[in-house]
Structure 1
């Protein structure tokens, strides 16, 4: 059986790249540090190679990780676009209006 990554695992990669550490990535995702570690470990198991060099000064993408990062970012962007479109269609179907205010 083919095991495929989940979007939350791919989002963990993006957060880890942005935050340079598991604790920061966990905070930005609103999850625990062990949860981020497990998501990255699961991806590495699925892919069959290491995505990050873990170092005391921060985590650095491996060569394979650097090659995958643009693809992962694109998948995440498409996923967010999908959610936005579905939300729009749902509101249109229910004839509801979403009003955004900037608080000023």
Structure 2
């Protein structure tokens, strides 16, 4: 909610804890951080969930913001991690329903 309403974070990266009991915040990005900062924060060999707040200017020259849910699953990650993240993705997205815009359009 801080990301959506108060613009406190540019992004939030989540991970499943080592005991596989809960999803925890691993890292948050300051409002001034870029997309490159965000992608550099994602591990090359492990899965994560993330929420990214993109600011942009529309075709009619209006400043807008859109929040994206990202399920990060690189090819170098373990099969077990990919499975655990895939199985828990829908439940986690459901938990974020109130924080994100129009979750019915998520892939």
Answer yes or no: same fold by TM over 0.5. Answer: no
**Structure 1 or 2: larger helix share?**
1
**Structure 1 or 2: larger strand share?**
2
Could you tell me the TM-score, scaled by structure 2's length?
0.26
Could you tell me the TM-score, scaled by structure 1's length?
0.27
**Larger Rg, first or second structure (1 or 2):** 1
